[in-house]
Amino acid sequence: GAVVSQHPSRVICKSGTSVKIECRSLDFQATTMFWYRQFPKQSLMLMATSNEGSKATYEQGVEKDKFLINHASLTLSTLTVTSAHPEDSSFYICSARGPGQGGYEQYFGPGTRLTVT
């Protein structure tokens, strides 16, 4: 149980366009979802935390107008990278936590590799 999927697994887009990444909890309801970014040879950096039905909370230094997060249902959160630039190329990972789960309990998706050309 507790499976989280991401779609797409890889995406290439042109500079200036927007791209949407989906994160789904397949067998549980995710009241909280997290979005991370991972650069090569670097650690996962938390970008934002989203709770179903409310606005996401962004970490310091993360542009909320550039990285739009929507957690519209208990099984789906989306991250939209708007007006993407090559420096946005990275590995994006989501994780999800269900109701009744402990504060640190979260299940991770397999990640999405974004390349902006």
Q: What are the residues binding other proteins (CB under 8 A)?
A: 4, 9, 41-46, 49, 93, 95, 102-104, 106-111
Nearer to other proteins, 9 or 29 (CB): 9
**CB closer to other proteins, 57 vs 117:** 57
User: Which residue, 46 or 74, has its beta carbon nearer to other proteins?
Assistant: 46
The minimum distance between CB 55 and other proteins, in angstroms, equals: 15
Partners of residue 11 on adjacent β-strands = 114
> Does residue 71 sit in helix, strand or coil?
strand
Query: How would you class 38 by CB atoms within 10 Å of its CB: exposed for 0-12, middle for 13-18, buried for 19 or more?
Result: middle
Q: How far is the CB of 40 from other proteins (least distance, A)?
A: 10
Q: Which amino acid is at 52?
A: E
For strand 112-116 and strand 10-13, is the pairing parallel, antiparallel, or unpaired?
A: parallel
Please say which residue, 57 or 83, places its beta carbon nearer to other proteins. Answer: 57
Distance (Å, rounded) from C-alpha 82 to C-alpha 100? 34
Smallest distance from the beta carbon of 103 to other proteins, in angstroms? 4
Query: Strand pairing partners for 113?
Result: 10, 91
